[in-house]
């Protein structure tokens, strides 16, 4: 079984700028891009050049940050992810969070869990 998480960026019409930024800063690769004008359904002219969908690859390794507003939920998620995984840093209080920790799950995906209150 493979775990695959795909983040989606919601932008305000500046997706092309976001992609160019990640290409320059993170050496991201643009795999595919599709504008609203490319879609088979009609959109107003002002949207036709906006990005409807893009696939951007950023390296082979990825750390996913999960921010929560509840310490108990942060503990539950951290405990679930650590089963058969590896704790990088335990979930504990830090100067910037009441619960912060990093864990790599059994599939090799690394998560940073942060409770905001």
Work out how many domains the chain is built from and give that number.
2
In a domain, 33, yes or no: yes
The pLDDT, as a whole number, for residue 101 is 93
10 Å CB burial of residue 8 (0-12, 13-18, 19+) is exposed
In a domain, 37, yes or no: yes
Task: Output the pTM of the full model.
Answer: 0.58
**Using an 8 Å Cβ cutoff, are 33 and 54 in contact?**
yes
In a domain, 7, yes or no: no
Q: Do 70 and 109 sit in the same domain of this protein?
A: yes
Q: pLDDT of 75-102, one tens digit each?
A: 999 999 999 999 999 999 998 889 999 9
Structural domain including 100 reads 63-115
In a domain, 95, yes or no: yes
């Amino acid at each position: 079984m493979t775990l695959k998480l795909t983040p989606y960026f919601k932008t305000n019409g500046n997706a092309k700028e976001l992609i160019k930024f990640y290409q320059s800063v993170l050496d991201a690769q643009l795999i595919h891009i599709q504008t609203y004008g490319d879609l088979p359904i009609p959109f107003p002219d002002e949207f036709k050049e906006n990005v409807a969908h893009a696939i951007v690859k950023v390296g082979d390794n990825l750390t996913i940050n999960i921010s929560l507003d509840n310490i108990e939920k942060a503990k539950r998620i951290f405990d679930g992810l650590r089963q058969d995984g590896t704790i990088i840093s335990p979930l504990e209080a830090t100067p910037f969070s009441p619960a912060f920790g990093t864990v790599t799950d059994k599939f090799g995906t690394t998560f940073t869990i942060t409770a905001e209150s």
